[in-house]
Amino acid sequence: MTSESAHRAIGVAVLGLGNVGSEVVRILREHSEDLEARVGAPLELRGVAVRRPGKDRGIPEELQTTDAESLVARDDVDLVVEVIGGMDLPRKLILSALNSGKSVVTANKALLADHTGELAEAAELHNVDLYFEAAVAGAIPVIRPLIQSLAGDRVNKVAGIVNGTTNFILSAMDETGADYASTLAEAGRLGYAEADPTADVEGYDAAAKAAILASIAFHTRVTAADVYREGISKITAADLTSARALDCTIKLLSICERITTPEGKERISARVYPALVPLEHPLASVNGAFNAVVVEAENAGRLMFYGQGAGGAPTASAVMGDLVMAARNKVNGGRGPRESKYAKLKVAPIGDIPTRYYVNMQVADKAGVLSAVAAEFSQHGVSISTVRQEGAGDGARLVVVTHVATDSALSETVEALSKLEFVTAVTSVLRLEGTEQ
């Protein structure tokens, strides 16, 4: 113990020793003296839980266990780091830790997006911390700025690129002109996509993060089921080419927004979908596996957070930040901010959400097509901003960009367009984000 540490050692259990857990343990060991000085007490690793014992992990055998529950229950464990992943087991372990008065740090977005309420209530009841900075956008500090730095402001929008796998795929498709399937395969080869990429490419991971961000930004409990979700698996090389022609690129966005209905009611929206983003927008230049989150607040204006959204060491950095905060609270005899859910705002259905659209359709190359198409848009109250014809003959396409319209008005328009004799197929409908009108 250094002369500055008057407090007894704080016992830490790390559940999971994979990409993130092994980096957390490395930092704990490599920086033990600095961490002790910052916390005011030594952080001592009491044990690590793993699934397969006996692997050479560079950690003394006596610190390894397959019995995570018993490790959590030990009297000399004060703080628990959950980096196993999954749902049922971590839920049980976290609840057990919180219910026995131990603060918890987790990176588990899927669990939080479904169970924050239950977990936060247990933390509240036992006056301990539940921290999860690493659950959204890896190393990028976004949870704490929203909870603490912006606690006195009014957040109107949080929009970001929070999934590195999909951003890698879309960036590569944009750069190379390759199609979705071959780019996904390449992402897998390079270690950017998992063997089963569904959670990433279908937007489930981004939706879980949107639920967490919306809950915090709008002081309302939002779960993954409240988030409208579309993935990137239908994006084609042609969509990216058309986007370029419009000075845009395509990004999978997680958007959390405060909206006012035409009746003047305050609602929130949480949604995930691939959208065209103008090249001059700050999110357009976030490429590869990087993440970025743009926050718009009434008084702060626009803030942008950018960095590594995944990876063992970057994610462990966020976990360690939480661990130090929880340990300091323990030393000082307090706790961090509790869950804020007082606003209880309703989530608006996707049909009510106003955005701009890009509609790409295959059409017959003859006179009268343009006016028939324009008439359908107009009949459904959707105003056209630009129309471009691409190709000719059998390959003729119309690319329409609209002004702001609701999702339901656009869906009705698309349904009507598909029935037109001149329209062979409506091949793509994407939103256009990051512009006015």
Residues that bind ligand NAP (CB under 6 A): 16-21, 49-52, 66, 68, 83-85, 89, 107-109, 134, 138, 310-311, 315
Pick the closer one to ligand NAP by CB: 45 or 373.
45
CB of 151 to ligand NAP, least distance (A): 25
Residue 149 token pair: 């730095």
Pick the closer one to ligand NAP by CB: 77 or 107.
107
Amino acid at 149: S
Nearest to 368 by CA among 317, 418, 421: 421
**Are 284 and 278 a contacting pair, CB within 8 Å?**
yes
Between strands 43-49 and 10-15, the pairing is parallel
Pick the closer one to ligand NAP by CB: 66 or 127.
66
- 54 appears as a binding residue in the annotation: no
- 339 appears as a binding residue in the annotation: no
Q: What angle do CA 290, 294, 300 make, to 5 degrees?
A: 145
CB of 164 to ligand NAP, least distance (A): 8
Nearest to 180 by CA among 168, 194, 190, 191: 168
Pick the closer one to ligand NAP by CB: 111 or 268.
111
The β-bridge partners of 302 are 296
Pick the closer one to ligand NAP by CB: 42 or 85.
85
CB of 330 to ligand NAP, least distance (A): 23
- 387 appears as a binding residue in the annotation: no
- 109 appears as a binding residue in the annotation: yes
Q: CA-CA distances (angstroms) from residue 153 to 33, 131, 217, 375? A: 37, 21, 10, 44
The β-bridge partners of 250 are 276
The DSSP call for residue 148 is I
For 233, the 3-state DSSP assignment is coil
CB of 52 to ligand NAP, least distance (A): 4
CB of 90 to ligand NAP, least distance (A): 7
Minimal CB distance residue for ligand NAP: 18
**Are 332 and 187 a contacting pair, CB within 8 Å?**
no
- 400 appears as a binding residue in the annotation: no
**Are 34 and 1 a contacting pair, CB within 8 Å?**
no
**Are 381 and 400 a contacting pair, CB within 8 Å?**
no
- 21 appears as a binding residue in the annotation: yes
CB of 134 to ligand NAP, least distance (A): 5
CB of 433 to ligand NAP, least distance (A): 24
Helix axes 407-418, 369-379, angle to 10 degrees: 140
- 15 appears as a binding residue in the annotation: yes
Q: Please, what's the b/e burial string for 156-188 (b: 16 or more CB within 10 A of its CB; e: otherwise)?
A: ebbbbbbbbbbbbbbbbbbeeebebeebbebbe
Which residues are designated catalytic?
Answer: 209
The DSSP string of 58-107 is SS-GGGEES-HHHHHH-TT--EEEE---SSHHHHHHHHHHHHTT-EEEE-
Pick the closer one to ligand NAP by CB: 48 or 277.
48
Pick the closer one to ligand NAP by CB: 134 or 250.
134
| Binding-site sequence positions for NADPH | 109
| Binding-site sequence positions for L-homoserine | 194
| Binding-site sequence positions for NADP(+) | 15-22
